[in-house]
């Protein structure tokens, strides 16, 4: 069997009804994993694409900033029986100058991007330790885990914090054969960047800095997530795999 095969594994992917999450869920299914999708609403398009790969898709509808991580993981286990992989992909963003940024926008972003990601990882790790089973946790960070950005204080804080937590969890859980790593996407063609891509000046400014000369597509994360969730990455702990078209190298 290939070191990149995920046959027999079950992956929980948050925010996979479209965009980056959908592409990663489908990639994991292509590699052999069944998928539990955690979304605020039905993810029928993702279900169809996962099932087209001959894999099972289990839906859990939840609000990451309201439903407890314990409840979400319990519901996932009821449907799938076990979890071997967690991809903390769900995220949100609010834009405003730091001088004007509201506490409500701060909490809305940090609660989903950072708090929910940590407690979901904690619950999945507890399940893996109780099973005495190896596992993979992949947090979706950002190039703003390394940079400050502008007009996105809570997003920058949450993604910087998520990278720090990735390293902490890797330090604590590597001894349990749980690999915790991160993917740091650059500027991708998703809803989160729609406003930037619709602004001609900002679009030109961003593309002028990306060596690849284009925004990333969700499918550009497929190889990265399969690698980090597979035995091929068995000795990779606490790493942030940047997928940014060369943005940080500029």
Question: Minimal CA–CA distance to 47: which of 65, 61, 66, 68?
Answer: 61
Give SS3 for 217.
Answer: coil
Full 3-state SS string of 59-92: EEECCCCCCCHHHHHHHHHHHHCCCCEEEECCCC
DSSP 8-state class, residue 116: I
* Number of other CB atoms surrounding residue 111 within 10 Å: 17
- Whether 187 is catalytic is no
d(Cα 168, Cα 117) in Å, to the nearest integer? Answer: 13
What does the alpha-carbon distance between residue 30 and residue 9 come to, in Å, rounded to a whole number? 12
Nearest one of 65, 7, 79, 5 to 37, comparing CA atoms: 79
| DSSP characters over 165-215 | HHHHHHHHHGGGTEEEEEEEE-SBSSGGGHHHHHSHHHHHHHHHH-TTSS-
- Among candidate residues 57, 155, 187, 227, the one labeled active-site is 155
Closest Cα partner for 229 from 167, 183, 172, 162? 183
The residues assigned a catalytic role are: 155
């Amino acid at each position: 069997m290939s070191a990149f095969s995920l046959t027999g594994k079950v992956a929980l992917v948050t925010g996979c009804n479209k965009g980056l999450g959908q592409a990663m869920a489908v990639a994991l299914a292509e590699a052999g994993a069944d998928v539990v999708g955690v979304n605020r609403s039905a993810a029928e398009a993702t279900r169809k694409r996962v099932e087209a790969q001959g894999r099972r898709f289990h839906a859990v509808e939840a609000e990451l900033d309201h439903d407890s991580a314990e409840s979400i993981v319990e519901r996932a286990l009821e449907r799938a029986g076990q979890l071997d992989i967690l991809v903390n992909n769900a995220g949100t963003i609010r834009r405003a100058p730091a001088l004007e940024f509201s506490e409500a926008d701060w909490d809305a972003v940090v609660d989903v991007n950072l708090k929910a990601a940590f407690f979901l990882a904690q619950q999945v790790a507890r399940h893996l330790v109780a099973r005495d089973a190896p596992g993979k946790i992949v947090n979706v960070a950002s190039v703003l885990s390394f940079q400050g950005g502008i007009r996105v204080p809570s997003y920058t804080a949450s993604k910087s914090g998520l990278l720090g937590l990735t390293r902490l969890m890797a330090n604590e859980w590597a001894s349990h054969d749980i690999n915790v790593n991160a993917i740091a996407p650059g500027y991708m063609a998703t809803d989160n960047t729609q406003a930037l891509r619709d602004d001609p000046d900002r679009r030109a400014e961003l593309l002028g800095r990306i060596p690849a000369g284009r925004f990333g597509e969700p499918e550009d994360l497929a190889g990265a997530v399969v690698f980090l969730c597979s035995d091929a990455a068995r000795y990779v702990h606490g790493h942030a795999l940047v997928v940014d078209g060369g943005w940080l190298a500029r």
